[in-house]
Structure 1
Amino acid sequence: MAKQKRAVRVASWWAARVRRCRAVADAGMSTAEYAVGTIAACGFAAVLYKIVTSGPVRTAMTSVIEKALHAPF
């Protein structure tokens, strides 16, 4: 009977240890994932910069700012 209790304790300890190790292994991104994420963010920033600095958007933003500055209080 004592052997069975010990075996159950060891098995549950081992299962808990395996769960903790798996959780730590999947806790964050790897270096390759950071690199891909950084490149994607830079690409998105470049596209957004091009859109914001385009003529129609610049004109619209200037119009909104001028209206806000010249609005009566």
Structure 2
Amino acid sequence: MTRSIMTVRWSAARRLRALLHGDGGMTTAEYAMGTVAAVAFASLLFEIVTGGTIKEALTGLIERGLEGGGI
């Protein structure tokens, strides 16, 4: 076979392999965006849980549990 035919065959095989296997993982930019999103979500949850109403409800629930009372 000529060199150009072999090159076409190999490049077609590589493209097919890339299509079948897809992307193996996240890139550095995707890791950074995922980390930023996780931190933002954690800070939102922290604000909600440490807010007055939720904090009082959780404290009351824990106190009733320690006293042996029902929910």
Give the letter for the 1:40 counterpart: A
Match of 1:70 in 2: 67
Gaps of 5+ in 1: 1-10
After superposition, where does 1:30-69 map in structure 2 within 5 Å?
30-69=27-66
- Give secondary structure in 2 for the equivalent of 1:60: helix
Q: Which runs of 5+ in 2 are unaligned?
A: 1-8
- How far apart in 2 are the matches of 1:27 and 1:36? 17
- SS of structure 2 residue aligned to 1:29: coil
Q: Counterpart amino acid of 1:49?
A: F
Q: After TM superposition, give the deviation of residue 15 of structure 1 in Å.
A: 6.3
Larger radius of gyration: 1
RMSD: 2.6
**TM-score normalised to structure 2 length:** 0.69
Q: Deviation of residue 46 (structure 1)?
A: 0.4
Q: How many pairs does the alignment contain? A: 63
